């Protein structure tokens, strides 16, 4: 069974500020994207890595990740993350299991990757995530609270999100056909009736998108 990882590396980094895209900023002296890719490179369960980059970034990504044997393709993304993932999925034909992961989540572990793969083999679709810690309020457009969902039922979704290839490819193909934009990969699977299992992850598996996240990331690296 061939397992492929799609690493999404096309972010613009607007919320980070400055002139460097967030995936190229350094934590612990190394670029975030490099740190992320190395986790998948070192996992014995991953057969192939595909990087999805911005249309003007392919050469930069190839230079940054040179020497990683499992990286077989660097493909160009689209104007939305969903279109970028779809491009990556098209490049992953022949894979049986596919993990879709944010290039700026460098703290995912090999154990979490393994747990996602195991669950996708069993049930077809899963998402790494953590229970929310805060009380969540559902508000209308005027900021008026309309509901307080039961916290014990709420999870914050992370990546990787992991699927049997034929299931997630069908979900993406149907979303494109219908002109539907979802909030994440799992939402497209949910839309066509696929049951998605939540796999417990770690609060350390942060997505680095703001300057404050960089501070947190450095603290995680220092231990």
Range of the domain at 36: 3-222
Low-confidence ranges of the chain (pLDDT < 50): none
Separation of alpha carbons 9 and 105, rounded Å: 10
Tens-digit pLDDT profile for residues 183-201: 999 999 999 999 999 999 9
What's the pTM? 0.95
Cα–Cα separations (whole angstroms), residue 45 to 110, 119, 197: 9, 13, 20
Provide the domain count of the chain: 1
Q: What is the CATH number of the domain that holds 25?
A: 3.90.550.10
Dihedrals phi, psi of 148, to nearest 5 degrees: -125, 95
pLDDT value for 55:
83
Give the Cα separation of 31 and 78 in Å (integer): 23
pLDDT in tens, 106-146: 999 999 999 999 999 999 999 999 999 999 999 999 999 99
Strand runs labelled E in 56-196: 71-76, 97-102, 125-131, 138-139, 145-147, 155-164
d(CA 78, CA 57): 12
* Residue 43 confidence (pLDDT): 98
């Amino acid at each position: 069974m061939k397992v492929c990882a799609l690493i999404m590396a096309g972010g613009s980094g607007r919320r980070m500020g400055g002139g460097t895209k967030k995936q190229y900023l350094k934590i612990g002296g190394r670029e975030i994207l490099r740190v992320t890719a190395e986790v998948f490179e070192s996992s014995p369960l991953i057969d192939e890595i595909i990087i999805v980059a911005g249309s003007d970034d392919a050469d930069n990504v190839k230079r940054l990740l040179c020497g990683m044997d499992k990286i077989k393709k660097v493909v160009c993304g689209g104007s939305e993350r969903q279109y970028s993932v779809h491009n990556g999925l098209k490049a992953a034909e022949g894979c049986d299991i596919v993990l879709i992961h944010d290039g700026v989540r460098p703290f995912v572990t090999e154990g979490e990757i393994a747990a996602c793969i195991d669950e996708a083999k069993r049930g077809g679709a899963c998402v790494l995530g953590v229970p929310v810690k805060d009380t969540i309020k559902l508000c209308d457009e005027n900021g008026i609270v309309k509901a307080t969902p039961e916290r014990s039922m709420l999870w914050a979704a992370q990546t990787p999100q992991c699927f049997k290839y034929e299931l997630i490819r069908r979900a993406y193909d149907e979303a494109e056909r219908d002109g539907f934009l979802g909030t994440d990969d799992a939402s497209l699977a949910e839309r066509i009736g696929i049951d998605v299992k939540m796999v417990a992850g770690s609060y350390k598996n942060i997505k680095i998108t703001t300057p404050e996240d960089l501070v947190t990331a450095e603290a995680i690296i220092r231990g």
